[in-house]
Amino acid sequence: MCSDGDDVNAVCPKCGGPSNEGLCDLCALESTELLSCPERIEITVCSVCGAKLIKGKWVPSQASVGELAYDAACSAICAHEGLSKPNLDVKLIKTGATRYMAMADLKGTFRSMPAEAGCRLEVRILSMACDRCSRRAGRYFESTIQVRASSREPTEREMEVSKKMALEMAEAGYKHGDQLSFVQDIKATQGGLDIVLGSTQLGRQISKVISERFGGRITETSKLVGQRDGRDLCRSTLLVRLPKFKLGDIIRFRAAVHEVAGFEGKRVYLTTLKGGHKTVITDDEVEDARILGNRNKARKATVVAGDERILEIMDPDTYKVVLAPRPHGLEVQPGQEVQIVRAGDEYIVLE
């Protein structure tokens, strides 16, 4: 450090007092701005949903305006890096409908001397509607999912689940920063459900998830409806045609009784009730199969007697004893209950 090596004691150029190097500690402290603090900052908040505009992007927020003002004030105030053990205390008071005053008090240690500084900062709140809220208010939409079914109407459950998935996926997309990820409307229409959405991308995601859950095919059509902000505005319709069959349907197909176990695109997974054999067929092939019932509507019935192939059970409605084929390997004793599906005069015992 010292070129001469003789005298380590230098002189402070400001006060002439002793100093190791350059300004003495006291003069250094006096000439250092310990706290940098703008006089005023502005934050832009959506008056509808509370989102905050950060670097030109709307970011969802659950915080109150006061909390946002406090956070903005804290991040605008900077303690000098030469300060060790800095302790910054910020108090915020509301001074008007859209104004806050933040008062900062800083304590710390500067070159082993206790140091202190304070400042005031005005926070102004600008409120406006974010992209998403203004589009929603303007009834903006880009995509409609039509949930329909082949040769039947979608069930209550299929519609409820579709609706729930749409709302959850729109919310998740919004939280990931997609301003167009919103549900504009959900309405029951003749033959099904219409889900009206802010973007086609969201429409595609939701219809894919619906068809993965319930099977069926998606047909997308789109048309140009005009321009918005200098860009072509297209609207798409995504028709989700649910299959004739539902999960848990008990069907007679190619002389055997099967349960519909799952879907994947055009494929339908079946399991035979007798033996539990698995088959995969396309939804075209399964069109002429006959629905006998659904596992969700199965009833409990008491077994009266039985052998390896046939069970005698009591019809829970008529209390008559009826016969039903015994599923392969089903362990059941007289007096115990089994799940049954009734199709006309036929009784099917489920495993």
The stretch among 51-59, 76-84, 197-205, 341-349 that binds Zn ion (CB under 5 A) is 51-59
Amino acid at 235: R
CB of 127 to Zn ion, least distance (A): 10
Between CA 299 and CA 303 the distance in angstroms is 13
**Applying CB under 5 A, does 14 fall inside the site for Zn ion?**
yes
Which of 267, 294, 52 is CA-nearest to residue 158?
Answer: 294
Q: How many residues does the chain have?
A: 351
Q: Which is nearer to Zn ion, 15 or 93 (CB)?
A: 15
**Applying CB under 5 A, does 41 fall inside the site for Zn ion?**
no
CB of 53 to Zn ion, least distance (A): 10
At residue 100, the 3 state secondary structure works out as: strand
Between CA 226 and CA 229 the distance in angstroms is 10
CB of 80 to Zn ion, least distance (A): 18
Per DSSP bridges, beta strands 40-46 and 113-128 are parallel
Amino acid at 170: A
Between CA 310 and CA 316 the distance in angstroms is 18
Q: Which is nearer to Zn ion, 31 or 318 (CB)?
A: 31
**Applying CB under 5 A, does 24 fall inside the site for Zn ion?**
yes
CB of 185 to Zn ion, least distance (A): 18
C-beta pairs of 60-67 under 8 Å, 24+ apart in sequence: 60/174, 60/175, 65/125, 66/92, 66/94, 66/100
CB of 117 to Zn ion, least distance (A): 19
Between CA 206 and CA 276 the distance in angstroms is 32
Residue 225 zone, left/alpha/beta (φ > 0; ψ -120 to 50; rest): alpha
**Residues numbered 112-171 forming contacts with Zn ion, rule: CB under 5 A:** 130, 133
CB of 137 to Zn ion, least distance (A): 9
**Applying CB under 5 A, does 349 fall inside the site for Zn ion?**
no
Q: What is the token pair recorded at 206?
A: 């939701």
Between CA 270 and CA 248 the distance in angstroms is 10
Angle, CA 295 vertex, CA 289 and CA 298 arms, to 5°: 120
Q: Which is nearer to Zn ion, 15 or 323 (CB)?
A: 15
CB of 211 to Zn ion, least distance (A): 31
Q: Which is nearer to Zn ion, 30 or 287 (CB)?
A: 30
| CB distance 348 to 292 below 8 Å | yes
Q: What is the token pair recorded at 297?
A: 């509507």
The stretch among 23-31, 70-78, 263-271, 275-283 that binds Zn ion (CB under 5 A) is 23-31
CB of 188 to Zn ion, least distance (A): 28
CB of 217 to Zn ion, least distance (A): 36
Q: Which is nearer to Zn ion, 27 or 74 (CB)?
A: 27
Out of 41, 45, 46, 117, the residue judged to bind Zn ion by CB under 5 A: 46
**From the CB of residue 102, how many other CB atoms can be counted at a distance below 10 Å?**
22
Q: Which is nearer to Zn ion, 49 or 167 (CB)?
A: 49
Residue count at the site for Zn ion (CB under 5 A)? 12
The stretch among 32-40, 42-50, 185-193, 283-291 that binds Zn ion (CB under 5 A) is 42-50
Out of 8, 15, 233, 310, the residue judged to bind Zn ion by CB under 5 A: 15
Which of 37, 53, 32 is CA-nearest to residue 101?
Answer: 37
Binding mask 79-118 for Zn ion (x = CB under 5 A): ----------------------------------------
The footprint of Zn ion (CB under 5 A) covers 12, 14-15, 17, 24, 27, 46, 48-49, 51, 130, 133
